[in-house]
Amino acid sequence: MGLGKYVPATSSEQQEMLKTLGLSSLDDLYVDVPQDLKVTELNIPAKQSELEVRRHLTELADKNTVFSSVFRGAGAYNHYIPSLVKQIAGKEEFMTAYTPYQAEISQGILQSIFEFQTMICELTGMDAANASVYDGASAAGEAVNMVVGRKKNKVLVASTLHPMTIETIKTYAYGSDVEIELIPEVNGRIDQAALTTLLTKEVAGVLVQQPNYYGLMEEATEIGEQVHQNKSQYILSVNPMAAALTKTAREYGADIAIGEGQPLGLPMSFGGPYLGFMATTEKNLRSLPGRIVGETEDVEGNRAYVLTLQAREQHIRREKAKSNICSNQALCALTASIYMTVMGPKGLQDAAYQSYAKAHYLAEQLTEIPGFDRVYPGEFFHEFVTTCPVPAKELTEQLAKHGILGGLELENGLLWCATEMNTKEQMDELIAVIKEVCQ
Amino acid sequence: MELIFERSKPGRYNQMIPDLDVPEVAIPEAFKRESELHLPEVSQPDISRHYTELAKQAHGVNDGFYPLGSCTMKYNPKINDEMAALPGFANLHPLQPLDTIQGALEVFTESEKLLGEITGMDHMTFQPAAGAHGEFTALLMFKAYHESRKDSKRHKIIVPDSAHGTNPASASMVGFEIVNVPSDEAGCVDLEALKAVVGEDTAGLMLTNPNTVGIFDKNITEITKIIHDAGGLNYYDGANLNPIMGVVRPGDMGFDIVHLNIHKTFSTPHGGGGPGCGPIGCKAFLKEFLPKFYPVATEKGVEFTTPSQTIGSVKGFYGHFLVLVRALTYILYLGKEGIPEAAHNAVLNANYMKHHLEDLYEVPYGGICMHEFVMSVEKIKKDTGVSALDVAKSILEHEMHPPTMYFPMIVPEALMVEPTETESKETLDEAIKVYRQIYEDAYKQPEKVHAAPANTPIRRVDEVGAARNPKIRYEFS
Amino acid sequence: MAFPKELKYTADHEWVKLSEDGKTATIGLTNYAQEQLGDIVFIDLPEEGDDIEIEDSFADVESVKSVSEVYSPVTGEISKVNEDLDDAPEKVNEAPYEAWIVEITNISEITDELLDAEGYEKLVEEEA
């Protein structure tokens, strides 16, 4: 008997196959492995039944708290995910396929990527998008590598970016020796005067996030004009939900649009897997990293899709490739496509608008409480920072006791977020609890 | 097939969220979107049909044999997906208070223990998102390690000519110069050639063992010693771990860092190209260079720590958590008995297929293989004009996915076959029959093989046209 | 196979047409090179005005499954780039000796490894 662990071979089949090979035991298959290196037994738990494993994992999951009321964003957003999204994305044909190398039997995967690329182009206003990269932060690292070259090796990065994205960019740059300089902030937004002095001829690109980490809207158009006057490339990191409603990256003048696609139907998942998207203008197409699907025809003239522009990639270009990326987040991209399809333009814009309106309602209610003031002035989308009259951690701990995940503690206050998921009742309850705690 | 955009009709709408229950607030003109947002307007029943149609034209492991060499397309257990979908995992915000995420952090520490034991490593980071990302992370650690020792001359990474393309590409992203070492006639590292290239400028070696021709390099400890003696570090590319897990450990072979392709070896779905998950394990002396957010169990519970000489972060947050939940489920289910059983059967299946094909298809690197073997269609091509591509396209007619084509580059007209342990003998016998039939066809009716596939939803595609005039998005009229 | 007599060749399968004063060179890929590459889908061209030295790579030639670099046999300045190839890289396949890639002027040095037609033909025979 086998162990029943996904291996179909029975003992007698194993013996039969070994005999065919002229071998007497499974161990004979490892003649090339030096005897003294062989493991006699792994020091890990013994096998368990599916039921036992289920119990263990469920126990681990139950140790975590799932908040019913979430007012925290900061890179991971709580949006509604329609039933159809999970059902379709869970289809085994999509789950268990790999990169569609064989176009003839992979049109479903290829077409879904082509549709995703189109939707990302629509959100960003760009001509070309790739099949996705790991997440928003790594997309920023890749975008930086995209713009630098032999002559220009410096990229300016807004200090109002998500701190983890800045961290990732710096880590990528540590590898590639690209010079990164942060553009200082003033009142929570880019200091445009400082940017002017930083724009020198070595600057290959400038990376700005819209809305920024504090939820504020940057003067992205004016910044873009400055960047282009300096003949540098303008990279804009956008929130896809906000992008449905506000100016597209292209309308702000961006050359490259990147972002975190998690808000598009992916659960918060304790941070991953998420979905990095990258889009650019036709001019930059061939420097875009990652997989790209293109439309073509088969020998009979039928419309067909295929992985294309592969000569950019590591498996062909090896050490001369600009990126080593090999996988993409196809299943997450598919999820996002289904989400955007189910929501449609009206539904997506409605969810985005409700996030905007509710965040503004929340800000209004919060700032009526003494000691809660907006830290930064100016327009915001669905996140904003307030002061906190008591130690922020103390407040969020109290909120947690009421099943509420409050704003994220920053050095100077709390970063709040609201989405279509937050009902007026939830917000009013939040306000009531805060009043109780802070009195 | 219609594109989703071609199914769209203005005015179709699916109601998902309630009406706004707070006052309206106008969006300032300066920030308003100017262009129309073209997304599909399709009803739920039609959306369901659209994607079902797409699914029918996607070949997954679920549909049939998928011996794609180097990709370890094994069965994806469904319990894994159910565990990953538990609300206590899927609905966690990554920035929740520590006391509300202890179960999630235990997924990290428990996985570290299990995978550390399987690989022979002391510490693990789960931040890298995929194998190539793990390579990149590890090479950043190489760089940081040498710099911390003020050993600034080490700027060369040695890579065998049979390596995966990601190896040189990753090294190059970290500014290393790549030195290729040739393989010997057995397909293994040529020791003399290796000795000739190591020196004070050697930062390290990147190696997969078994290598890309499916051979376990028996000189492995000698190879890693040559690098260590020269002051370099050894990196294990874990793409080919499947045949040796529970049998022999990279840590015992002399490797300092290893990456794992969780989606290959540990059974998580490949998802049509991702998400993967590429944790790396390292020996104790490299711990302080690991990425940020390294989870450590303390008396108060598990906490995130920042290693003192950390390279930083390679992505947002902590890695592909839900993929890891799946892998943990798999490892616990298999246990210490099931892990080596999987390895043994992966090797047995590969050798069984090789045995039944090598009389027709030349196997340039013979002997007992590990999880995969590489056949060359070069002679067949010379004789009949039928290439590796033609053979692969013929296989498509049999509801099977072909092997990896034209890799590794050291074998002309290569087909790389990796059956995995989750395929039954019946499936292997069927595949053997198909491959042998195609060989016969190549000699008797090569035009049939050239024209294959004949019965797939589409026929061979114009890749040249696609690349010359890229059309990579739908244009709305 | 054609090996025009008036041209010089490199071992990397480029043809070079030198002006009489030796100050200007037009460079393209040989017929053998385009056959080896197969259908060319894209050529990443340099910019006019770029300075270039012997053995510098100045262009990438892509087919569907490969990429090759084009190396300069001279030191000078890129004075003209054949921008027709941006839209129609297949011209290199169709007429390799007409589809020049760049013109380099102000040449200060020429590699001493240039071959004449006969020498190049011999090299191709050996490689084939």
pLDDT computed for residue B457 by the predictor: 95
Backbone angles phi, psi at C118, to 5 degrees: -65, -45
Please state, in angstroms and rounded to a whole number, the distance separating the CA atoms of residues A392 and A387: 9
Strands B257-260 and B280-282: antiparallel
State how far the alpha carbon of A43 is from the alpha carbons of A39, A160, A227, B117, in Å.
10, 47, 57, 7
Name which of B421, B401, B407, B4 is nearest A326 in CA terms. B407
Please state, in angstroms and rounded to a whole number, the distance separating the CA atoms of residues A264 and A145: 26
- Evaluate whether residue C128 is within a structural domain: no
The amino acid at residue B429 is: D
Angle at CA B127, nearest 5°, toward B125 and B133?
105
- Evaluate whether residue B453 is within a structural domain: yes
Please state, in angstroms and rounded to a whole number, the distance separating the CA atoms of residues A53 and C2: 70
Helix and strand counts by DSSP (H, E) for chain A: 14, 16
The number of folded domains in chain B is 3
Task: Give the closest-approach CA distance of C11 to chain B in angstroms.
Answer: 22
Chains with at least 3 CB pairs less than 8 angstroms from chain A: B, C
Choose one of B301, B333, B365: the last residue of a domain: B333
- Measured between beta carbons, the chain C residues lying within 8 angstroms of B468 are 41-42, 89-90
- Evaluate whether residue C46 is within a structural domain: yes
Statement: the pTM of the whole predicted model exceeds 0.90: yes
Residue B27: CB atoms within 10 A of its CB come to 18
- Best mutation site among C64, C70, C71, C85 for testing chain A: the one with the most A CBs within 10 Å? C64
- Evaluate whether residue C62 is within a structural domain: yes
Which residue segment(s) compose the domain that B307 sits in?
79-333
Query: B24 and B151 share a domain?
Result: no
Please state, in angstroms and rounded to a whole number, the distance separating the CA atoms of residues B50 and A334: 13
C106 touches chain A (CB under 8 A): no
- Evaluate whether residue C3 is within a structural domain: no
Query: B395 and B359 share a domain?
Result: yes
Q: How confident is the prediction for chain B on average, in pLDDT?
A: 96
DSSP element (H, E) containing A426: helix A424-438
> How long is chain B?
477
Alpha-helix runs per DSSP H in A148-272: 163-176, 192-198, 220-229, 240-243
State whether B273 and A342 contact (CB < 8 Å).
no
Q: Domains plus CATH for chain A?
A: 69-80+345-438 (3.90.1150.10), 83-337 (3.40.640.10)
Please state, in angstroms and rounded to a whole number, the distance separating the CA atoms of residues A169 and A136: 11
- Measured between beta carbons, the chain A residues lying within 8 angstroms of C41 are 311
For residue A246, give the 3-state DSSP assignment.
Answer: strand
Query: B345 and B314 share a domain?
Result: no
- Evaluate whether residue B468 is within a structural domain: no
Write the DSSP string, A365-396. HHTTSTT--BSS-S-BSSEEEE--SS-HHHHH
- Please state the separation of Cα B145 from the chain's center in Å: 26
Please state, in angstroms and rounded to a whole number, the distance separating the CA atoms of residues A325 and A97: 18
Please state, in angstroms and rounded to a whole number, the distance separating the CA atoms of residues B194 and B220: 12
Which residue segment(s) compose the domain that C110 sits in?
8-118
Angle at CA B169, nearest 5°, toward B165 and B173?
165
Query: B37 and B159 share a domain?
Result: no
Q: Are B108 and B324 in contact, with CB atoms under 8 Å apart?
A: yes
Query: B244 and B352 share a domain?
Result: no
Angle at CA B123, nearest 5°, toward B121 and B205?
55
- Evaluate whether residue C125 is within a structural domain: no
Laid out side by side, the sheet with A383-386 consists of: A383-386, A413-417, A408-410
- Evaluate whether residue B126 is within a structural domain: yes
Please state, in angstroms and rounded to a whole number, the distance separating the CA atoms of residues B104 and B110: 10
- Evaluate whether residue C65 is within a structural domain: yes
Show the tokens assigned to C76. Answer: 């000078």
| pLDDT of B13 higher than 70 | yes
Q: The domain spanning residue B459 has which CATH number?
A: 3.90.1150.10
The amino acid at residue B181 is: V
State whether C65 and A311 contact (CB < 8 Å).
yes
Name which of C123, C28, C16 is nearest C81 in CA terms. C28
What is chain A's pLDDT, residue by residue, as a tens digit (439 residues)? 679 999 999 999 999 999 999 999 999 999 999 999 999 999 999 999 999 999 999 999 999 999 999 999 999 999 999 999 999 999 999 999 999 999 999 999 999 999 999 999 999 999 999 999 999 999 999 999 999 987 899 999 999 999 999 999 999 999 988 999 999 999 999 999 999 999 999 999 999 999 999 999 999 999 999 999 999 999 999 999 999 999 999 999 999 999 999 999 999 999 999 999 999 999 999 899 999 999 999 999 999 999 998 877 777 777 777 788 888 899 999 999 999 999 999 999 999 999 999 999 999 999 999 999 999 999 999 999 999 999 999 999 999 999 999 999 999 999 999 999 999 999 999 999 999 998 7
- Evaluate whether residue C2 is within a structural domain: no
How large a percentage of chain B has pLDDT more than 70?
A: 100
Pick the residue from chain A with its C-alpha nearest to C61: A311
DSSP element (H, E) containing A361: helix A330-366
State whether B470 and A74 contact (CB < 8 Å).
no
- Evaluate whether residue B474 is within a structural domain: no
Convert the pLDDT of each residue in B318-362 to its tens digit.
999 999 999 999 999 999 999 999 999 999 999 999 999 999 999
Name which of A233, A168, A157 is nearest A194 in CA terms. A157
Residue C115: CB atoms within 10 A of its CB come to 17
Query: B289 and B249 share a domain?
Result: yes
User: ipTM more than 0.90?
Assistant: yes
DSSP for residue C77: E
State how far the alpha carbon of B180 is from the alpha carbons of A340, B162, B184, B222, B226, in Å.
46, 9, 13, 18, 16
Chains with at least 3 CB pairs less than 8 angstroms from chain B: A, C
The number of folded domains in chain C is 1
Convert the pLDDT of each residue in C38-63 to its tens digit.
999 999 999 899 899 999 999 999 98
Q: Are B266 and B332 in contact, with CB atoms under 8 Å apart?
A: no
C1 touches chain B (CB under 8 A): no
What CA dihedral angle connects A169, A173, A176 and A181, to 10 degrees?
120
Show the tokens assigned to A230. Answer: 């300096």
- Please state the separation of Cα B409 from the chain's center in Å: 18
Task: Give the closest-approach CA distance of A296 to chain C in angstroms.
Answer: 13
Task: Give the closest-approach CA distance of B121 to chain A in angstroms.
Answer: 13
Burial, C23: exposed, middle or buried (Cβ in 10 Å; 0-12, 13-18, 19+)? middle
State whether A316 and C67 contact (CB < 8 Å).
yes
- Evaluate whether residue B384 is within a structural domain: yes
Query: B245 and B293 share a domain?
Result: yes
Please state, in angstroms and rounded to a whole number, the distance separating the CA atoms of residues B285 and B40: 54
- Evaluate whether residue B71 is within a structural domain: no
Contacts of A436 (CB under 8 A, 6+ apart): none
Task: Report the greatest alpha carbon distance in chain B.
Answer: 78
Contacts of B62 (CB under 8 A, 6+ apart): A92, A93, A95, A96, B76
Query: B132 and B279 share a domain?
Result: yes
Considering CB atoms only, which of B319, B329, B467 is closest to A309?
B467
A172 touches chain B (CB under 8 A): yes
Name which of A102, A336, A101 is nearest B275 in CA terms. A336
